[in-house]
Structure 1
């Protein structure tokens, strides 16, 4: 159960993934977003779309938000997410930094 209200961009990130909506997924990110998935880096919306195709909607990922807490700096949130699908499966933290109501960076760590 989330511990604070989930920011709209993070809610969109989860819902778009679960609905298989690649356009809504990419639109949740800033044009210059950075995504780091266990050390693999992707830049901009094109990078986000590439990751989405190979590691997210492209492998029928489904997200269940277990908890969300404020991060160590302003506009930063740490979400504990359970992932199922035909790619990575498991539970772990995703750290989001928001800017202007969109995801400016996402770090996925083990």
Structure 2
């Protein structure tokens, strides 16, 4: 997939550039995130999750694959940052599955590929 929709691209770009406000602007106010068996609902919970798990750890993503099926975008990205990498493969990949609504991220699920 050559072209990611704006909110998906913004998610990765803002993460890599450590721009929290731009990151949050990619989400609907009532968006849902499921990451590492934890659920985050609404922009304030997503803010707290991202400040700790993404921005606090200085996570950097490199997209390696992206597909779209029925309006759902699945992006595989390697990641690095200041987090415990004990027993993690190198490179370490995660799958981000995005559902959009109203031009923003409405749902994000982060999982192993």
Task: Return the TM-score normalized by structure 2.
Answer: 0.88
Q: 2:101 aligns with which of 96, 99, 108?
A: 99
Q: Runs of 5+ in structure 1 lacking a partner? A: none
Task: Return the TM-score normalized by structure 1.
Answer: 0.90
Is contact 1:4-1:69 (8 Å) kept?
no
Distance 2:83 2:18 in 1: 14
Is contact 1:63-1:81 (8 Å) kept?
yes
Cα offsets for 1:17-73 (capped at 9, x unmatched): 0111000001100000000002111011111101111100111000111111013xx
* CA RMSD, Structure 1 to Structure 2 (Å): 1.3
| Partner SS state of residue 107, structure 2 | strand
Q: 1:88 to 1:100 in 2, by over 3 A?
A: farther
| Partner SS state of residue 56, structure 1 | helix
What is the aligned residue count? 106
Q: 1:60 aligns with which of 58, 61, 76?
A: 58
Q: Runs of 5+ in structure 2 lacking a partner? A: 86-91
When Rg is computed on C-alpha atoms for both structures, the one with the higher figure is 2
| Partner SS state of residue 83, structure 2 | coil
Is contact 1:61-1:85 (8 Å) kept?
yes
| Partner SS state of residue 4, structure 2 | coil
Equivalent position of 1:20 in the other structure: 18
